[in-house]
Amino acid sequence: TSNRAKVFVYGMRNPFRFDFHPETGKLFVADVGNNKWEEITIAEPGDNLGWPCYEGPEQTGISPTCGGLYTGKEHRRPTYAYPHADGRGAAIGGAFYTGDNFPARYRNAFFYGDFNASTIDVLTFADDGTPVSTPFATNAVAPVRMATGPDGALYVLFIADGTLRRIRYTGGGGDDGAPSVALAAPL
């Protein structure tokens, strides 16, 4: 087998965490951008995600090797990209929520963080397949890893204070409003 056949995905700048969708098996990758964009991409085997020629939806123009991509060679565009604004600037791949303690709209949703902005957001998809990102938690200082626990809570590692914390649904909000959640003291 050639070395090229051993590469699952290439053209990433700084991939920081990934997870597989629990039902579809698709790979979701969070890729930390350079100066302008953060990306979450549903990647397929053999995909070129475009770096260093693209960052988010934009051509970077920083490499002379980009001619082929700029003149028609295909690359996988981000599924969801957001700009460096409001302190955001380091996408941290999270986890799919597979528990049953949060409202139904969060089941199999992709929770991801932004290290710089100290936030946790939720990526879902509209009926037409359009990605929708909604804020979930603020003051989540420096999240670096997330997972659903066997108790149905979302667990988050924070590097700034070296803690693992549990986020649990405390009621209210329901499917039509923002949920009430509690961020536990360090475990």
Reported confidence tier of residue 95, pLDDT bands at 50, 70, 90 = very high
* Residue listed under structure tokens 């995905």: 9
> Taking residues 80-85, what's their average pLDDT?
96
**Rounded to 5 degrees, what angle do the CA atoms 177, 156, 98 make?**
60
Q: pLDDT at residue 43 above 80?
A: yes
Reported confidence tier of residue 176, pLDDT bands at 50, 70, 90 = very low
- Say which DSSP state 108 is in: T
Domain boundaries, the chain: 4-183
Task: Say whether domain 4-183 belongs to CATH 2.120.10.30.
Answer: yes
Q: How many whole angstroms separate alpha carbon 153 and alpha carbon 169?
A: 7
110 in Cβ contact with 123 (< 8 Å): yes
pLDDT tens-digit series, residues 63-72: 888 877 888 7
